Structures are given as structure tokens and as C-alpha cells.
Amino acid sequence: MGKIAFVFSGQGAQHPGMAQDLIERYDRVADLFAAADRIRPGTTEQCLRGTQEELKQTENTQPCLYLADLAAAIALEEEGIVPQALAGFSLGEIAALAFGGAFSLEEGFSIVCRRGQLMGEANRQADTGMVAVVKMENAAVETLAQQFDRVYPVNYNCPGQLVVSGAKDSLEAFSVAVRQAGGRAVPLAVSGAFHSPYMNDAAEAFGTFLQQKNLRMPEIPVYSNCTAQPYTEDIASLLTRQMNHPVQWENTIRRLAKEGFDIFIETGVGTTLKKLIQKTLPDALIYAVETAEEAAAIGQEVLSHV
């Protein structure tokens, strides 16, 4: 055992107080938040004391979670944990690329701010949402989704869980059909239909924005949501494509396992990715780090396995 992958959280588990003890404990984390405030004034205050409703808005969620993701990764690094691969779920992929060296942490923050802004604007163009379907095979969910207008399978999370995006009225009818088919449909705490055609205009604008950035191949391999493979081609095109195409998370985790990774640490907020990986790789060592206490304790435990 001993190959470590950091996996960076996506949206959904955000809450007030994110990263507060990490800011207090680690100077590098405090410096990161200070730099973010210079780019987007008030971000630290929003992370620590914003309301749940405020943090649910994607323009706010994405910058705050980006910082929380990186704060936990920096804390682990300060505790002596060095990953050999990185992956991030949706917006977490930008944190993974920044941590891996594709661009500076500050540049990544400006990128994620623009991404959140564009996706927020797209959300206001239509009444949309996302629903996680569980207890059904992917093929059955895909077939059922085809029977509804404006419903799209988008996040292939783990065995028995596929998230769909779409118009809220269509999702309501779709959710009834899911229950009738023996599955469960769980609404997600997000404000739009991410990774679907509803993001087409946002993706096009984001691609134009990224062309102005100096992006480079990361020093640590980063696995793409779109391909479930390490980045080997233009970063801008894959990040653009990610916005309006499905997230291949289960395939990403299986690919990492095939390449010998057996220790996974979720960095950021909540335990969503930890739970998804447990369902995909029940024999792997899987952790989640959100606080300074967890970083120190898990850091010591992981070091005992490498």
C-alpha cells in the first residue's frame, strides 16, 4: 500500500465557518485567504459568516469551496502528506489543477470566480436543478431520462448513483417516475443544472476567458472529469468541456485504482467523495479532511501506511 490521491470536493456540502480553524492554524492557508480577499473582497467573511442561503448561490459557493478545498490540501501537505495524483469533482478540479501546479493558487481563484459568475448567470436564465438517483442501474436511469424533455444524466458518481440535471418541472415528474421504478430521487443543494446543455453559453464564455490565461501541465498528475484520464492535452479545452458535459467520477476512481492508488483523501468540505469512493472501492483506505484536527490525525495515520 502507499499510493496517495487527493480528491477535491465539489458543491453541495458548503456551510458557514468553512476552513476557519485551518486559517488559524496554518500560515499558508491564512495567506491564501488574504490573497483571495485582495482579488474578491469579502470572501473570507463570506466563508466564515455567510448565511447558508448566501453560500448556496453558485457565484459564492465556488470561490469559497475552492479556498476550503485548497486549505485542507495545504494542511495535509504541512503535516507531511505528499500525493502522487489529484482529482477534483466539478469545481474541485480547478483546485486540483492549482494544487498540482497548472496555475498559481491566486490565478485559480480568479478562474473559479469567473466560472461561478458565468454559471450563476446561466442559472438565472431558467428554473433548473439537480437530482441524485440511487438504487437504480445507470442504464435504467438513462433510459428513463430519455422519456422526459430537458432532463440529462450528468454525474456518474458510483455504483447505484447517477445525478441528473434539468428543468425543475421536468425533474419533478422524472422523480415521480424514479420512485415508481423502485429508485430514490434526492434533490441536491445546488442552484442550477450543471454539466448539462443549460451550461452551453457559460462554457463558451468560459473557454474564451481561459484562452487569456497562462495554463501549463501540472507537476502532479490531475485526472480529468471528462476523460477519467490524466491531463495530457489542452487544459482550457477540457475545463471548458467539463462545464456542460458529464462528470465521469466512478470511472476516474476506478482508473486511479487500476494504476495502483489505494489511499484516497478528500480535501475540502463534507464527506461526499469519501462515501462515493467507499461504494466504488470498498477495500481502499479513504479519509476526509476538513479541519486542522483531522489533518493532523489523518496525516499521522496515512504516514503509517506509506
Measure the CA dihedral 194/9/252/77, to 10°.
150
The whole-number pLDDT of residue 1 equals 58
Marked catalytic residue, from 9, 90, 170, 224: 90
| 38 shares its domain with 106 | yes
Mean pLDDT of 73-96: 96
* Strand order from edge to edge, sheet including 4-8: 222-223, 85-88, 4-8, 263-267, 285-289
* pLDDT class of 190 with cuts at 50, 70, 90: confident
Cell of 251: 470511472
Query: Is 15 noted as a catalytic residue in this protein?
Result: no
- Catalytic member of 9, 191, 195, 245: 195
The arithmetic mean of pLDDT across residues 270-283, rounded, is: 96
What's the rounded mean pLDDT across residues 23-29?
97
pLDDT of residue 305: 73
d(CA 121, CA 59): 9
106 & 155 share domain: no
pLDDT of 204 reads: 96
174 and 255 in a single domain? The answer is no
CATH number at residue 168: 3.30.70.250
Domain identity same for 94 and 180: no
Considering the domain boundaries, does residue 219 fall inside one?
Answer: yes
Question: Is the same domain home to 181 and 82?
Answer: no
Task: Establish if 192 belongs to a structural domain.
Answer: no
Is 90 a catalytic site residue? yes
Q: What is the pTM of this model?
A: 0.95
∠ at Cα 230 (228, 234), nearest 5°?
A: 105
Residue 214 pLDDT exceeds 90: no
What is the CATH classification number for the domain harbouring 80? 3.40.366.10
Residues 151 and 223 in one domain: no
Which range marks the domain in which residue 113 is found? Answer: 4-124+197-303
Percent of the chain with pLDDT over 90: 89
Domain boundary among 145, 161, 187: 187
The domain total for the chain is: 2
